[in-house]
Amino acid sequence: MFPDIPATAPVLRFAPSPNGALHLGHAYSALMNERLAAETGGRLILRIEDLDRARCKPRFEAAIVDDLAWLGLRFPAPWRRQSEHDDDYAAALARLDEQGLVYPCFCTRSETARASAGLRDPDGAPLYPGTCRGLASAESRDRLARGDKAAFRLDMGRALAGAPLLSWVEYGEGAIPSERAAAPAVWGDIVLTSRDLAASYHLAVVVDDALQGVTDVVRGRDLYAATAVHRLLQALIGCPAPRYRHHRLVLDRNGAKLSKSRQSASVAELREGGLSPGEVRAALGFAAGAGGGLAVELS
């Protein structure tokens, strides 16, 4: 199902979600990918992570592509849209189900929050306590047959019982690799598919990276903890493991991570304000020259 990662010709990807405008944090990640691809003679591809069809809109995708082109980034077409690959995610889910690692969960978000006893996963979401893990198979089948909505979760305990000790190769923003131990148990029984999504982020990104032959994953430190889950899913599904490079984040004036939910200044707004692509690149550390007064903090 998945190609082996070749020893040469690195493949990198930039994978935005079209649920809002690009901000400087996205630009920094895209430019980090561009730099590594240039330094290694690799290829940089674009992936549109549009699984959330309620929030992801064609107009945001078009704006993202326009902003990236303005920054001087070019990607070979066609690019992968997650919304067009439900069958790939279903096949990966079936592999996990064949191993007895998947179960339906009928809990609502509010029920999960109440049952979590205040415990949180690394993303800050309520930690699922495994309420539906012990449901009898007959009861689960009956509830699914009558149309009860369910998410499908990974039985983390059983998955870890059959998995070897996991690690990944981490470079950060440097050239010297180090081996990092993967400890996915802190995530609990992660969602693999939900009522509204063909695949969760964790499942989709593992499948996408494997099918696209990605050799080097360059992304922000806010996704560092997720790598443990991705390494587990790679081992369970039979995907090759990329090299990982988790880079610094661009912060706002208050030292907070830029985000769409915080309405951080977008690349389009900086364009409209008169900044040039060279000035944005310079402010982010990717070109010589002045940054045009654009103050950027990285951490």
Asked whether the predicted pLDDT for residue 251 surpasses 80, the reply is yes
Read off the pLDDT of residues 186-232 as tens digits, 9 standing for 90 and up. Answer: 999 999 998 889 999 999 999 999 999 999 999 999 999 999 999 99
Outline where DSSP puts E strands in the chain: 11-14, 43-48, 80-81, 102-105, 151-154, 167-170, 178-181, 191-193, 216-220, 243-247, 250-251, 297-298
Q: Do the beta carbons of residue 246 and residue 294 sit within 8 Å?
A: no
- Dist. CA 186–CA 142, nearest whole Å: 31
Which structure tokens are listed for 64? 């993202």
pLDDT in tens, 18-30: 999 999 999 999 9
Q: What is the pLDDT of residue 221?
A: 96
CATH numeric code, 11-298? 3.40.50.620
Predicted pLDDT at 182: 97
